[in-house]
Structure 1
């Protein structure tokens, strides 16, 4: 291992401290056919409940590894403390992990300390230039799978994640972007695009989730299209520092019919 590689890995595991306190809100990911909660997504918050952008404003290249590590460890510990029984989704920017086989270690250690098996963790990859670096992404996904982690490609349909990328990377799950979901019941072009994307994902054997679902009309179209899971204010808003329970899910009767 070269000196340069050693310094990079040290930065991943021992990076500068993050200057702001942070915490997590959890939003459930629901199977519309049954109303069952399949997973919870961890969403960044300030300690006073402030939205993610107030914390992200303090993130720099220098403290990003510490921020990334702290946010994931906080989410895992808090979910475990509240009796997590489902999967947990953690957001991750691929650029934060230059050497994934080393940088995944703190995440796995946090999971082990909280008694959560790696197979119950799903890493959501957001938009990042490295999604186009297929050699890097293949290595990254291989390291995740070797560790037993699931991987989801977020924001599908936002214009940057092509179907060809799905074929090359074959994640475990895709999440349809809210720009594709919003008003889909009133927009024939969006509906056609969504049906095309869902059909391609289904052919590849990928689990499909839709985010940002806010109306019964949107939910009805997505259920008809064959989306496996849904997430959004229609079903439940994010809960600050706790997990939403099944009794709190507001699923329209028609969705589970």
Structure 2
């Protein structure tokens, strides 16, 4: 345990990174519910170029640096005035102690003036988890500290409904492969409807990601999905909060 916490604080491994921000849109208001921080190289290089440098030995430092960079750049881009939340991807396998490993994040939030209760921490179920009970502890600890958590890429990867049965996050993000073509696929529509109803009963907010067409957007809205993320509404803005273009061509201001 102690060695892991030392690794989290180590300055030996640093990454040349920045962030792009993509809004998660409240379709009922047209305004940003949150902005997801997406890792990029400092000159805009794609996520793969950065993530390919992450190893089991340096992922602790990488996770910590991503949290700090996301908060600092989001605040610099003007997120505080929008009222939106900030969603940060994290690596569950890089968290040894939920309380100890969150301290740098809290310090950064205080230094930048970002309200900690507007933080969302999302993890992908595509990452194989060594210990789901540990992930459950992280989720429960973060909730007690006032943070929200989300499962990204829900419907793909290692876990799916089995993971949701073990613990419940505040939000889930439906995987784009499940979303694609929902307007023309009855099985996809029925699956999404079932997940939405299930999450309503569990008190979990559903976000649909990867929306690219008006038809997909309208099908999801008909099902009852309120929160939408995808190129149809806004592409990620490198170091900026991009404008939101609603179906029909109207533009919603970020602030």
Equivalent-residue separation in structure 2 for 1:124 and 1:176 (angstroms):
12
* Structure 1 residue corresponding to 2:240, chosen from 224, 231, 242: 242
SS of equivalent residue, structure 2 residue 245 = coil
Equivalences for residues 172-251 of structure 1 within 5 A: 172-244=170-242, 248-251=243-246
Partner of 1:10: 6
- Contact kept, 8 Å, 1:15 with 1:65, in 2: the verdict is no
In the alignment, does 2:47 pair up with 1:55? no
In the alignment, does 2:114 pair up with 1:116? yes
Equivalences for residues 126-141 of structure 1 within 5 A: 126-127=124-125, 128-130=127-129, 133-141=131-139
* Cα distance, 1:9 vs structure 2: 1.3
* Cα distance, 1:114 vs structure 2: 1.1
Equivalent-residue separation in structure 2 for 1:77 and 1:173 (angstroms):
24
Equivalent-residue separation in structure 1 for 2:58 and 2:171 (angstroms):
29
SS of equivalent residue, structure 1 residue 129 = coil
Partner of 2:168: 170
- Contact kept, 8 Å, 1:16 with 1:62, in 2: the verdict is no
What number of residue pairs does the alignment pair up?
246
Partner of 2:32: 37
* Cα distance, 1:14 vs structure 2: 2.1
SS of equivalent residue, structure 1 residue 161 = coil
Equivalent-residue separation in structure 2 for 1:35 and 1:46 (angstroms):
30
Deviates more, 1:66-75 or 1:212-221: 66-75
Partner of 1:103: 101
Partner of 1:24: 19
* Cα distance, 1:117 vs structure 2: 1.6
Equivalent-residue separation in structure 2 for 1:121 and 1:207 (angstroms):
15
* Unmatched segments (≥5 aa) in structure 2: 251-255
* Structure 1 residue corresponding to 2:86, chosen from 81, 85, 88: 88
- Contact kept, 8 Å, 2:13 with 2:58, in 1: the verdict is yes
Deviates more, 1:53-62 or 1:208-217: 53-62
* Cα distance, 1:15 vs structure 2: 5.5
| Offset from partner CA, 1:191-232 (integer Å, 9 cap, x none) | 111111111111111111000000001001111111120000
* Unmatched segments (≥5 aa) in structure 1: none
CA RMSD of aligned residues (A): 1.8
* Cα distance, 1:82 vs structure 2: 2.0
- Contact kept, 8 Å, 2:128 with 2:158, in 1: the verdict is no
SS of equivalent residue, structure 1 residue 88 = strand
